Amino acid sequence: MKVKVFAIVVILLIVSLSSCREFLEIDTPKTQIVRHKVFENSEGARAAVFGILSQMSMGGFGGISSSVTVMGGLSSDEFLNHSTSQNNVTLYSNSLTPINNSVVTTNWNDMYLIVYEANSILEGCESSGGLSTNVRSQVVGEAKFIRAFSYFYLINLFGDVPLVTGTDYSINKSLSRAAVSDVYNQIEKDLKESQTLLLSDYSMSGDEKVEPNKWAATALLARAYLYQEKCADAESQSTLIINSNVFSLESNLNSVFLKNSKEAIWQLMPVSPGVNTNEGEIMIIASNPTRWSLSTSVSGGFEVNDKRSASWTGSFTISGKQYRYPFKYKVRLRNQPVTEYYMVLRFAEQYLIRAEARAMQNNLPGAVSDLNTIRTRAGLPLIDATGLTQTDVLGLVTKERRSELFAEFGHRWFDLKRSGTIDAVLGPLKADWQPKDALFPIPQAEITANPNIIQNP
């Protein structure tokens, strides 16, 4: 059978492209934006800061289970470990090696990512002409603060660290470690600039205390001075805050960690869906503990009638066994109304900084007065400075810091190191304690990738 088919029209090659090169030029993906465009306007520049803050809130500065708080708590005498995970075991037993702890590695990586991001903002703002002076000051001031904040934790965890102040990988990839003092110089420089660039209120963030301002820079600067034993500077910076009339101590201890509390200098806003603070979710024990609980040296270290013991610690009993846990943040479950923000810098610490700075300068009554401000709020009897030596007062400061700042940002771990008492305190508690354990080892991947990095002893 034959069928006639008329006119088979076939378009064989349909290619009409004026130029192939043009075809290959693809647009920036819809989900990304080229760097110079980010800093063309204030929304973009501000978004770059929000990007870092969002990451901080989700990362090691945000109270998650691999946070600075947890690393400090396990390494020092604050926490009892109940977990069998390698990360928790090695931190708790102070047996970190360059290869055996991914939490330490993650924190190193994240802190340097934050440094890179801050540097990128600084470079982006420098070359941009589209930003108003106000926005530029705000963005640059926050970036410098964030960079200083990240370096503060890097040197206190790892000792000497490479000082990266630009984004050029070809320079950065082979940097050696800079001395702690050099890094502190950079921290001081950045924070002083932040002080002049940033506002002294929270109007930029809608009166929420979720972006660092001038007082955040001042608070961190006071702490940086104290850690370097630049006591007069530390005292003057903390005095600036105490006299600012912007902050006050919350009389109700249960209100301290609420969002935008009177005591908050800087808080991180929770960003994880449905969660109040990560800290509340992971610290509060509601079944057989799988992570950690408060050690008896913390829970038993409170003076009788210390209201902080009742308000800031909780307990859970299962199978006849009682566990205590930090209860500064009180919301554990997800999908509750958000009432708590994660406290990074708070007013009470400034009294303790000033107390210590004053004691170091032998202003013992001044120091005791600051301690008493904190003790009053905790419902404790006032201390009489009469007859106390400098050592006595410094001892009281340490004790007060411990009761006030436990399970917060590794304060205890750093205090033990600063005071030189770490071997005496942890030696008897930890089976394999060695003085070198005071510094975390640099992650091996870092040394592998950059032969100029020399490991801690």
Partner 1 sequence: MILKHLRMCILVIVALATTTLKAQGASRQEVLDVEITISLKDVTLKQALQEIELVAKIKFVYSRSYLNLDDKVTIDVAGKKLGQLLEELLTPRSIKFAVHDSENFVVLTQAKMRSVIPIDEERTPVAIPAYAARISGKVTDVAGGSMAGVNVVEKGTTNGTSSDATGVYSLEVTDNAILIFSFIGFKSVEVSITGRTVIDVTMEEDQSVLDAVLVNAGYWKVNEREQTGSISRVTAEEIQRQPVGNPMAALIGRMPGVNVSQSSGMPGAPFTIQIRGRNSLRTDGNRPLYVVDGVPFPSNSVGVGYSVLANPSPLNSINPADIESIEILKDADATAIYGTRGANGVVLITTKKGGPGKTKLDLNFYTGIGKVGHFMDLLNTEQYLTMRREAHKNDGTPIAFSEYDLTEWDTTRYTDWQKVLIGGTSRVTSAQLSFSGGGENTHFQFGTGYYSEGSVFLGDFGDKKLSTHFSLSHQSPDKRFSILVQNSFVIDNNKLPLADLTARALMLPPVAPALYTEDGSINWQNGTWPMYSNPLIFDLLDYTINSENLISNVNLGYEIFRGLRVKANVGYNLLHSKDLNLAPIAANDPILGITTGYSDHTTGLTSTWIVEPQVEYVREIGRGTLTVLAGTTIQQTTRSAESIRADGYANDALLENLASAAQLFVLTSDFTDYRYNAVFGRVNYNLGGKYFFNVTGRRDGSSRFGPTKTFANFGAIGAAWIFSEQFFKNSSLLSFGKIRTSFGVTGNDQIADYGYLDSYSATVYPYQGKSGLVPTRLANPDYGWEKTLKAEAAMELGFFKDRLGLTAAYYRNESSNQLTGYNLPRITGFSSIQYNLPATLRNTGFELSIRSSNVQRGDITWTTSLNLTIPRNKLVSYPGIETSPNANQWEVGKPLTTSKKFHYVGVDTQTGLYQFEDLNGNGTGTDSPGDLVATGFVGQKYFGSITNSIQYRGLELNFMFQYVNQAGRKYSTVTTTFSTPGQMTNQPVQVLERWQQPGDDAAIQKFTMSSAASNAYLASSLSDNLVDNSSFVRLKNVSLSYGIPERFTKSWKVQSTRIFLQGQNLITFTDYIGMDPEPTIPNGLPPLRVLTAGVQVSI
Residues 73-92 that bind partner 1 (CB under 8 A): 82-86, 89-90
CA atoms of 82 and 92, how far apart (whole Å): 10
What count of other Cβ atoms lies within 10 Å of the Cβ of residue 369?
Answer: 17
CB of 440 to partner 1, least distance (A): 14
With binding defined as CB under 8 A, does residue 203 bind partner 1?
no
* Tokens of residue 408, six digits: 């917060």
Report how many residues bind partner 1 under the rule CB under 8 A.
113
CA atoms of 67 and 119, how far apart (whole Å): 23
With binding defined as CB under 8 A, does residue 304 bind partner 1?
no
CB 269 within 8 A of CB 341: yes
CB of 15 to partner 1, least distance (A): 5
Q: Which is nearer to partner 1, 53 or 388 (CB)?
A: 53
Sorted by sequence, the CB contacts under 8 Å of residue 147 that are 6+ apart come out as 114, 115, 118, 119, 122, 165, 190
Exposure class string for 143-170: b at 16+ Cβ within 10 A, else e:
bbbbbbbbbbbbbbbbbbbbbbbebeee
CA atoms of 415 and 75, how far apart (whole Å): 12
Looking at 95, 339, 373, 456, which residue binds partner 1 (CB under 8 A)? Answer: 95
CB of 130 to partner 1, least distance (A): 15
Q: Would you give the binding string for partner 1 spanning residues 245-284, x where CB under 8 A is met?
A: ------------------------x-xxxx----------
With binding defined as CB under 8 A, does residue 5 bind partner 1?
yes
What count of other Cβ atoms lies within 10 Å of the Cβ of residue 176?
Answer: 11
With binding defined as CB under 8 A, does residue 456 bind partner 1?
no
Looking at 196, 200, 229, 333, which residue binds partner 1 (CB under 8 A)? Answer: 333
CB 306 within 8 A of CB 255: no
With binding defined as CB under 8 A, does residue 169 bind partner 1?
yes
With binding defined as CB under 8 A, does residue 294 bind partner 1?
no
CB 36 within 8 A of CB 127: yes
Q: Which stretch binds partner 1 (CB under 8 A): 138-146, 257-265, 410-418, 449-457?
A: 449-457
Q: Which is nearer to partner 1, 48 or 283 (CB)?
A: 48
Q: Which is nearer to partner 1, 132 or 288 (CB)?
A: 288
Q: Which is nearer to partner 1, 261 or 403 (CB)?
A: 261
CA atoms of 18 and 312, how far apart (whole Å): 71
Q: Which stretch binds partner 1 (CB under 8 A): 106-114, 296-304, 351-359, 365-373?
A: 106-114
Exposure class string for 113-139: b at 16+ Cβ within 10 A, else e:
ebbbbbbbbbbbbeebeebeeebbbbb
What count of other Cβ atoms lies within 10 Å of the Cβ of residue 211?
Answer: 24
Calculate ∠ Cα 251-254-259, nearest 5°. Answer: 95
Looking at 40, 41, 42, 54, which residue binds partner 1 (CB under 8 A)? Answer: 54
Q: What are the backbone dihedrals phi and psi of residue 342, each rounded to the nearest 5 degrees, phi first? A: -85, 120
Looking at 248, 255, 362, 448, which residue binds partner 1 (CB under 8 A)? Answer: 448
Q: Which is nearer to partner 1, 93 or 398 (CB)?
A: 93
* Tokens of residue 351, six digits: 């009294």
With binding defined as CB under 8 A, does residue 414 bind partner 1?
no
Sorted by sequence, the CB contacts under 8 Å of residue 60 that are 6+ apart come out as 66, 67, 68, 71, 106, 107, 110, 111
Residue type, 435: P
Q: Which is nearer to partner 1, 25 or 245 (CB)?
A: 25
Looking at 112, 202, 413, 414, which residue binds partner 1 (CB under 8 A)? Answer: 112
With binding defined as CB under 8 A, does residue 57 bind partner 1?
yes
Sorted by sequence, the CB contacts under 8 Å of residue 363 that are 6+ apart come out as none
CB of 298 to partner 1, least distance (A): 19
Residues 360-379 that bind partner 1 (CB under 8 A): none
Q: How far is CA 337 from the centre of its chain?
A: 24
Looking at 245, 319, 386, 391, which residue binds partner 1 (CB under 8 A)? Answer: 319
CB of 295 to partner 1, least distance (A): 14
* Tokens of residue 270, six digits: 């929770």
Looking at 129, 387, 420, 451, which residue binds partner 1 (CB under 8 A)? Answer: 451
CB of 168 to partner 1, least distance (A): 9
With binding defined as CB under 8 A, does residue 317 bind partner 1?
no
CB of 147 to partner 1, least distance (A): 12
Residues 119-158 that bind partner 1 (CB under 8 A): 119-120
